[in-house]
Amino acid sequence: MGHHTNVAAENRHPFYAWLTSCFSTPPFSTPCLSTFCLSTLCFLTVSGCELLPRPGDTQGEQNRAEWRSDGRIVVDTDPRFTVMTVRIDTAGVTGRHDVVLTRFEFGSPADESAYDLTLGLDFGDTRKLTLGKAYSIGGTRAEIPAFGTVACLCRPLRPDSVRGTYELERLGIAQITGHIDVTLYFTAWDNSNVHETYRLKQRIEGVK
């Protein structure tokens, strides 16, 4: 973050190249200023809502954002070691099938209350999703099936379900951006009467 490289104007993004040529020599023209203000307003209007967190958002750090258009979510369980993992498998997948595997980290490694949430989302075909629509996650009639696990300094927990919603904010060629609002439910492996819940409500990315 502290390293800065000064790039020649002609090698920059076209917008910055235009900005440099437009404002490098005074007096500045009225069309130039008008275009700049309009461009800035459009940029802030389109991206501002996506960049700002929503009220009540959690503060997890997303350290994995794998998006595949040829995969499926696989949950591997090993009761002997009370281990359950979520992964992406591409074997035998035909046609378009979008899945995202992500992980959010909460707290520092030195914090005994720190934990990681791993979440797999099965979108089917992201091109059929509508921007801004809240799609249901979890349950037998879920529009987006989801699978989650938790890693923490606590007794081993077995995933029960993921319930909530997902909203698509932006869909690009190599990146998908949305907002997720879910609760992950878990049960202790050694005591079916012990239940834990974790909340995940924040921006979520997927990158190819």
Q: What is the 3-state secondary structure (H, E, C) of 138-170?
A: CCCCCCECEEEEEEECCCCEEEEEEEEEEEEEE
pLDDT in tens, 122-153: 999 999 999 999 999 988 889 999 999 999 99
Domain boundaries, the chain: 9-51, 61-207
| Residue percentage of the chain with pLDDT more than 70 | 75
pLDDT value at residue 140: 82
Averaged pLDDT, 40-44: 38
Going by pLDDT thresholds of 50, 70 and 90, the confidence category of residue 6 is very low
pLDDT in tens, 97-129: 999 999 999 998 788 899 999 999 999 999 999
pLDDT value at residue 36: 39
121, burial (CB in 10 Å: exposed 0-12, middle 13-18, buried 19+): buried
* Residue 3 in this model has a pLDDT that exceeds 90: no
pLDDT value at residue 53: 85
